[in-house]
Structure 1
């Protein structure tokens, strides 16, 4: 594909407080290369992000970074709750900024998608005491039965998200993405599969979104709406085929919640960007129907589908995941019409290149 055919993808754009070199993003991808005991990243992670910045990626969204020891769901995921963790992330952000890049931290709590041996020898936290289906990734043991969060627990965790956002800015990040997708803690509150509460955090979807709204309000107060992104989805890690009963109504409810708290940028997540889910429309087309702010699109995009979606106005930024794992010089290859290396989990899951 020639550069002239993908001109939209290479346009500079300003979204929120970020002046991006291209309309591209590096999607957040769990890598598990931090120190298992301390959650501190190493020089290999610094170089990993630096290389993608050097390629010209517009917005780098980091792998999920946990907000507390109890938020952890896999061995080797990084944290953003100790000074030592913050200090090492400073090296990452400086390296990215030296290359002219923009990088935000995805702040993360896995909720029930964990095991007490990973989560500081405490039971995982969740809106209700309902076990997730399946086993902990890269650990192999079944998910634990979680502990239902009290009102005090909820307040404490909202505070941890807020502090992680503040810590991200201290570490030199240009902002944060709140991970509200894929069956992790915020999405566990959002979903009727995992939230059977009868208080104000439960009930219909609008009620179940209360926890997400409280997190977003506090994060926006701390770092600004122009530096805050929210990721949401129907997709669950323990139920990959899950879809809302009425996708359009659910999306409308999510959008109303985002507007209510003052969000200006959102990141709806799906595994298949081009798949229609209601009324002949894709997830992102339905989102655009109700949202005129910034949309980051993701879901197995390639150059052609990304270019088309940007040109149509469905999305503003196209996020790529696996192609960027296999090709640190992904944009260079696109621009020069060079071959894109296919993602190989046997190689690319185990290496930071």
Structure 2
């Protein structure tokens, strides 16, 4: 019997330590609704995530949540480094769990992509002192020239990632996603455009992954591999169109690094490309990843339910992540299950509001 568009999406699934109600995820999306001075989320954020949990979304991944004041790159982003932030997030996780949902915190450090006015006067941190082009997102001032991180700086940030993961568990989160994509700090170490170091954190691609591996190992040691997810990308400079040379070899190198430190769950990001776009050898990013990765994997990239259903059936991905449709439709799964029309995402309406 031919499966309907709903059948695979609406399966329950074991994903790491989480028993998910559906094979769906809410993709992490920067919303900037925390208090800008304290990084504390309020009641509107509690209700925002509660609604998605009530819709039976399998896994909710929060907006990027910074691990330190120096990791902040946008006004109004939340943090997970103070007792006040932890207490505020606890209200979110309690609301989600009351609806039967599962929620993890995306922990984040933007590296060079910031300005000293956002970091309390502190200079941006980066693998090398290379200034990013353009303006700070939502702040509209040129990026500062970053300071090249010392070995002690690197070790401190690794510790901060682990502490943020511990803080997430204390706040009631079911785990964390480490943001290693889109041109932020971990990605800056991975890319030859932003990492010109000559010590053990520089060198060829495999060697440049050292910082990422140390962050992963520290977080896994802190909270366990079955509660740790890593998001990564093949883009060389954030959301640009610069794809790493030999994408398939890059994926093989990434997956070898993940296996080396005990990663079980990954979230490959297509960045500005769609899920169905070909990366190399006639295959999409997620098809290439599956060639080298037999662990669990989240798929993302302007998915609709038909494309997601097919990818799930084929085993290319284990979980389908949706972003903008969930911003516009808090009852997204209810609508597609019942064949109801979706509200189309409108940047002018939905970017600046919490529906």
**Global fold match (TM > 0.5):** yes
Q: Give yes or no for the alignment of 1:295 onto 2:303.
A: no
- Using a 3 Å threshold, how does the CA distance of structure 1 residues 210 and 238 change in structure 2: closer, same or farther? closer
* Contact 1:32–1:76 (8 Å) recurs in 2: yes
1:168-187 correspondence to structure 2 within 5 Å: 168-187=168-187
* Contact 1:54–1:99 (8 Å) recurs in 2: yes
* Contact 1:104–1:177 (8 Å) recurs in 2: yes
TM-score, normalization by structure 2: 0.98
Give 3-state SS (helix, strand or coil) of 1:8's partner: coil
* Contact 1:53–1:99 (8 Å) recurs in 2: yes
Distance 2:182 2:237 in 1: 6
Per-residue deviation, residues 10-62 of structure 1 (Å, max 9, x unmatched): 00000110000000000000000000100000000000000000000000000
* Contact 1:3–1:334 (8 Å) recurs in 2: no
1:1-353 correspondence to structure 2 within 5 Å: 4-235=4-235, 239-270=239-270, 271-353=273-355
Please report how far the alpha carbon of residue 6 of structure 1 lies from its aligned counterpart in structure 2 after TM superposition.
2.2
Please report how far the alpha carbon of residue 122 of structure 1 lies from its aligned counterpart in structure 2 after TM superposition.
1.2
Distance 1:119 1:162 in 2: 20
Please report how far the alpha carbon of residue 239 of structure 1 lies from its aligned counterpart in structure 2 after TM superposition.
4.8
Per-residue deviation, residues 84-113 of structure 1 (Å, max 9, x unmatched): 000000000000000000000000000001
Please report how far the alpha carbon of residue 123 of structure 1 lies from its aligned counterpart in structure 2 after TM superposition.
1.1
TM-score, normalization by structure 1: 0.98
* Contact 1:20–1:102 (8 Å) recurs in 2: yes
Distance 2:17 2:349 in 1: 36
Moved more, 139-148 or 235-244: 235-244
Gaps (5+ residues) in structure 1?
A: none
* Contact 1:34–1:77 (8 Å) recurs in 2: yes
